[in-house]
Amino acid sequence: MLRRGKEPELTGRIVVPGNPQYNSARREFNTFFNKFPLVIVFAQKTRDVVNAIRWARFNNIPIRMRSGRHSYEGLSVVTGGIVIDVSDMHEVDVNRKRGIATVQTGIRGGALNEALWNERLVVPVGVCRTTGIGGVTLGGGHSILSRQYGLTQDHLLDAEIVMADGRVLHANADQHADLFWALRGGGGGNFGVCTTFRFRAHRIDTVAYAEITWDLRDMEQVIRVWQEFTAPGADPRLGPLLSISNGLQGPPRNPVFFQGVFLGSTAEMRKLLRPLLRAGSPRKVTIEEITWIESVRRVADTQATLPYPFKGVAPYVKHLPNAGISTIRRFIEKTPTSSAGVFLHGLNGAVAKVPSRATAYFWRRAWSDVTLQATLSTQEEAKRGIRWVENFRRAMLPFTRGVYVNTPDLSIKNWKQAYYGGNFDRLTRVKARYDPKNIFNFPQSIPPARG
Ligand SMILES: Cc1cc2nc3c(=O)[nH]c(=O)nc-3n(C[C@H](O)[C@H](O)[C@H](O)COP(=O)(O)OP(=O)(O)OC[C@H]3O[C@@H](n4cnc5c(N)ncnc54)[C@H](O)[C@@H]3O)c2cc1C
pLDDT at 339: 86
pLDDT at 253: 62
pLDDT at 247: 60
What does the alpha-carbon distance between residue 297 and residue 304 come to, in Å, rounded to a whole number? Answer: 13
Q: Who has greater pLDDT, 335 or 29?
A: 29
Is pLDDT of 117 > 70? Answer: yes
Is pLDDT of 252 > 60? Answer: no
The whole-number average pLDDT for the span 384-408 is 97
CA–centroid distance, residue 274 to ligand 1 (Å): 35
65 lines ligand 1 (CB under 6 A): yes
CA–centroid distance, residue 265 to ligand 1 (Å): 33
304 lines ligand 1 (CB under 6 A): yes
User: For residues 7-32, b (16+ Cβ closer than 10 Å) or e, as one string?
Assistant: ebebbbeebeeeeeebeebbbbbbeb
332 lines ligand 1 (CB under 6 A): no
Nearest to 144 by CA among 121, 159, 122: 122
Bond prior to 252 in cis (omega within 30° of 0): yes
Using pLDDT thresholds of 50, 70 and 90, give the confidence band for residue 337: confident
CA–centroid distance, residue 404 to ligand 1 (Å): 11
The whole-number average pLDDT for the span 78-92 is 98
128 lines ligand 1 (CB under 6 A): yes
Is pLDDT of 292 > 90? Answer: yes
Is pLDDT of 1 > 80? Answer: no
CA–centroid distance, residue 83 to ligand 1 (Å): 15
Instruction: List the CATH code of the domain at 92-203+422-434.
Output: 3.30.465.10
Scanning 396-450, the segments in alpha helix (DSSP H) are 415-420, 424-434
CA–centroid distance, residue 271 to ligand 1 (Å): 36
The whole-number average pLDDT for the span 348-361 is 98
Phi then psi for 20, rounded to 5 degrees?
A: -60, -30
Residue of minimum CA distance from atom 9 in ligand 1: 126
- For the stretch 168-178, pLDDT in tens is 999 999 999 99
The whole-number average pLDDT for the span 277-286 is 97
Percent of the residues in the chain that have a pLDDT greater than 70, as a whole number = 98
108 lines ligand 1 (CB under 6 A): no
CA–centroid distance, residue 134 to ligand 1 (Å): 7
Contact 430, 182 (CB under 8 A): yes
Mean pLDDT for all residues in the chain: 96
DSSP string, 98-123: TTEEEEETT-BHHHHHHHHHTTTEE-
Domain with CATH 3.30.43.10 in the chain: 13-85
Q: Compute how many other C-beta atoms are within 10 angstroms of the C-beta atom of residue 102.
A: 16
206-410 to CATH, choices 3.30.565.10, 3.50.30.30, 3.40.462.20, 3.40.50.620: 3.40.462.20
Among 29, 32, 76, 439, say which to mutate for ligand 1: greatest number of ligand atoms within 8 Å of CB.
Answer: 76
The whole-number average pLDDT for the span 129-136 is 97
Task: Give the ligand 1 atom nearest the CA of 191.
Answer: 43
The whole-number average pLDDT for the span 51-68 is 98
Q: Who has greater pLDDT, 254 or 298?
A: 298
Task: Give the ligand 1 atom nearest the CA of 105.
Answer: 41
Using pLDDT thresholds of 50, 70 and 90, give the confidence band for residue 358: very high
Domain with CATH 3.40.462.20 in the chain: 206-410
300 lines ligand 1 (CB under 6 A): no
Domain with CATH 3.30.465.10 in the chain: 92-203+422-434
pLDDT at 394: 98
Nearest to 53 by CA among 9, 111, 4: 9
- For the stretch 164-210, pLDDT in tens is 999 999 999 999 999 999 999 999 999 999 999 999 999 999 999 99
248 lines ligand 1 (CB under 6 A): no
Among 136, 183, 243, 261, say which to mutate for ligand 1: greatest number of ligand atoms within 8 Å of CB.
Answer: 136
Is pLDDT of 249 > 70? Answer: no
Is pLDDT of 250 > 80? Answer: no
105 lines ligand 1 (CB under 6 A): yes
Is pLDDT of 126 > 90? Answer: no
Strand runs labelled E in 125-192: 156-162, 168-172
78 lines ligand 1 (CB under 6 A): no
pLDDT at 2: 52
pLDDT at 338: 79
Task: Give the ligand 1 atom nearest the CA of 142.
Answer: 11
Task: Give the ligand 1 atom nearest the CA of 151.
Answer: 11
311 lines ligand 1 (CB under 6 A): no
Using pLDDT thresholds of 50, 70 and 90, give the confidence band for residue 335: confident
- For the stretch 366-383, pLDDT in tens is 999 999 999 998 888 899
What does the alpha-carbon distance between residue 126 and residue 143 come to, in Å, rounded to a whole number? Answer: 4
The whole-number average pLDDT for the span 76-92 is 98
DSSP 3-state of 431: helix
13-85 to CATH, choices 2.40.30.10, 3.10.50.40, 3.40.50.170, 3.30.43.10: 3.30.43.10
